[in-house]
Structure 1
Amino acid sequence: MTTLNVRGGLPSVTAPAAAVGRALLIAVPVLLVSTFLTFMLGGLTEQDPASLVLGDSATPADVARMRETFGLDQPLPARYALWLWDALHGDLGASWFTKIPVAQSIAERLPVSLSVAAGALLIAVVLGGVSGILAAVRQGGRLDRAVTVVTSVLATVPGFVAAIALITVFSLLIPVLPSGGWAPPSEGLLTWATFLLLPSVALSLDAAADVARQLRTGLADTLHENYIVGAQVRGLPGWRVVLVHALRNGAGPAVAVLGMHVPRLIGGAVIVETVFALPGIGELTKTAALGGDVPVVQGALLVTIAVVLISSALVNVLLVKLRPAARREI
């Protein structure tokens, strides 16, 4: 999609497309460097996967044949190039130990991690958004000070501490939610939600606190702009002035900080999945890393980075849509 360039009369790329283009320019080298570093670290480890798979009774000839099967007899750059070529064609290889295709393992585990991360994102937006708006509207009052204090405390609480506290309260003292495990949506949306709620809340508190603080700051400044005062003088309802006129221009910092939290939500799922015994991609990666299963680690890393980069691109597009000034800068 293009727009007319007034100065030169030539078509130019629209702002959202330019934002996606800039994100891709960053994404490609990040993807290559991160996957190569992981591949290199796996290749430099002192453990021999062939020996681990075959056991202590394997002969040197057996180990050599297994290394050839794994492709470990080739130079590291050649192995990485071959893996990258296969990955770009949808083949992430198979586990060295279970022989299960990596893509299959990730497809089974990824919905769990995405559900937790999406739930945490939704909770962060709702809690942070409502708190930030109320604090901005009541700036200087008791509610504003209360939100400031609570968000300052929540921002310092690690995810695993919040997870343990939530389990203690809502699974032990008030046993209304399960302390761990997982149920897919196919077993019922209510059952799925009960297993999803505590992990999502534990993962969302830090992001919700930052969103609330940034939204409060952005709206507090915006509510004093001349066009907001003019809308109030014209007799527009207060909710319309805040939610329609002020929020569009004051939500930029909150959206930006939320975009910064997306990698943390996905990365933090590893710890939360461990606490709540969730069969997600974080748990899969941790188990594979401890066992030296490089294909699984590499495939999980590739998918995780892709999810993070896609999320970051979407946040950049949303920022451009919200901020007219950003569209003029592109």
Structure 2
Amino acid sequence: MTSLQTRAATVEARGAPGRVPTARRPRRWRGWAGGAAALAVVALASTFITYGLGALGDANPAAAVLGETATPADIARMSHEFGLDRPFLEQYVTWLGHALTGDLGRSWFTQIPVAESIAERLPVDLSITGLAVLIAVLAGGAAGIGAAVSNGGRFDRIVTAVCALASTLPAFVAGIGLIVVFAVIVPVFPSGGYVPPGEDPVQWLRLITLPAVALSLDTAADLARQLRTGLVAALRENYVTGAVVRGLPARRVLLRHALRNAAGPAITVLGVHIPRLIGGAVVTEAVFALPGLGQLTGEAALKHDVPVVQGALLATIALVLVSNLVVNGVVARLRGAR
């Protein structure tokens, strides 16, 4: 069912909440199995490409670690210790097997475990991305609902204009503008840096607010536009008219009935933006001097520290896949609740 009309009629006739027929449950399980299989294939292909890019590099890590005074025998010995003298597929299978257990190897230069370095930097990106998603959902959701309610009115036109501007503004440009306004002209927020939430929660929130706002603008704009379009269409459906005729409160009709149907495409749009938010967090780090995965990956790439680069890319891929799985689950839940 694509609307709540049939469900509302069932509730009126039977006096009980609508239930998903038992015959449809196997189809839902098949859908989950197919989605999990697709994610597994994407994850395997992504790890293969990630490891392959590191292996195709023309730099000699053994020579870089040992320095200019290293002899060919020393370089060969170090290459053997790194496992670089084995066939590519053998190296990949070994690396993937270790990665599945949480062992991403060690940095070729510092000998610090890659997983430990990522665990130290990842909370920075998760903080920015999480707050950006929250801001996008709250701001975009409120703007989209308000624009749909005042369809064709002044607020609708304002939201449309603001969304058009926000969607064309890159995150780093928005970040620079926010620093100028809120850290220089009106010094409300700091311009950069990071403090773990365990040390100072208030300062942590102040430090990640501007990066999160800069990162959330594009997502909030697309979410508002999609939600407005879906709600305008949903509010014209017959089941909404029937609910109003039966005397249901307008707020209940809007939030419980129309919004449930319109939220699916909007959540799908949010799922599309989450990988961009994760990637944008890496770029935003440079503007706000945040010690996250972007800084770690950049430093490792300059030194040709392949294990660190591969580990950071693998962590990013895992975040994207998990976020897509969560979004798909929420959309499926909304569809099943109709």
Q: For 1:266, which of 245, 253, 278 is the aligned residue?
A: 278
In structure 2, how many angstroms separate the alpha carbons of the residues matched to 1:324 and 1:219?
Answer: 19
Any stretches of 5+ residues in structure 1 without a counterpart? none
Q: TM-score, normalised by structure 2?
A: 0.90
How far, CA to CA, are the matches of 1:19 and 1:187 in structure 2?
Answer: 44
1:92 to 96, 99, 104: 104
d(CA) in 2 for partners of 1:139, 1:320: 28
- Residues 102 and 289 (structure 1 numbering): CA distance in 2 closer, same or farther, change over 3 Å? same
Q: How far, CA to CA, are the matches of 1:4 and 1:128 in structure 2?
A: 34
The Cα of 1:187 is off from its aligned counterpart by 2.0
What displacement does 1:19 show?
Answer: 4.5
> Structure 1: which 4+ aligned runs deviate by more than 3 Å?
3-7, 17-20
What is the distance in 2 between the residues matched to 1:6 and 1:38?
42
Partner SS for 1:103? helix
Matched, 1:305 2:317: yes
Decide which of 242, 250, 255 is 1:238's aligned counterpart.
Answer: 250
1:160 positional shift: 0.7
The answer for the alignment partner of 1:53 in structure 2 is 65
Structure 1 residue 23: Cα displacement: 2.8
- Give per-residue Cα distances to partners, 1:85-127, cap 9 Å, x unaligned: 1111221111111100011011111111111100000000000
Question: Which whole-Å CA distance do the structure 2 matches of 1:123 and 1:134 have between them?
Answer: 16
1:248 paired residue number? 260
Which residue of 1 is the match for residue 200 of structure 2? 188
Q: Look up the match of 1:129.
A: 141
Task: Indicate whether 1:153 and 2:165 are aligned.
Answer: yes
- Indicate if the aligned counterparts of 1:23 and 1:309 stay in contact, CA closer than 8 A: no
- Code of the aligned partner of 1:169: V
**Which runs of structure 2 are paired with 1:59-78 in the superposition (5 Å)?**
59-78=71-90
Structure 1 residue 262, shift from structure 2 partner: 0.7
State how far apart, in whole Å, the 2-side matches of 1:13 and 1:48 are. 53
Cα deviations across residues 248-276 of structure 1 (Å, max 9, x unaligned)? 01111111100000100111111101111
Output the CA distance in 1 between the equivalents of 2:23 and 2:247.
37
Please give the residue correspondences for 1:79-228 in structure 2 after superposition, counting only pairs within 5 Å. 79-228=91-240
**Structure 2 counterpart SS, 1:29:** helix
Q: Please say if residues 50 and 314 of structure 2, whose CA atoms lie closer than 8 Å, have aligned partners that are also in contact.
A: no
Report the Cα offset of residue 188 of structure 1.
2.4
Structure 1 position 5, deviation (Å):
5.1
Superposed CA RMSD in Å reads: 1.7
- Classify the secondary structure of the residue corresponding to 1:292: coil
1:14-58 C-alpha deviation (Å, 9 max, x unpaired): 73x545433321222222222222222222212101111111111
Number of positions where the alignment pairs a residue of Structure 1 with one of Structure 2: 319
Confirm or deny that 1:286 pairs with 2:298. yes
Answer yes or no: is the 8 Å Cα contact 2:193–2:289 preserved in 1: yes
Does residue 25 of the first structure (1) align with residue 37 of the second (2)?
A: yes
2:59 corresponds to 1:40? no
Percent of matched pairs sharing the same residue: 58
Structure 2: give runs of 5+ residues left out of the alignment: 1-19
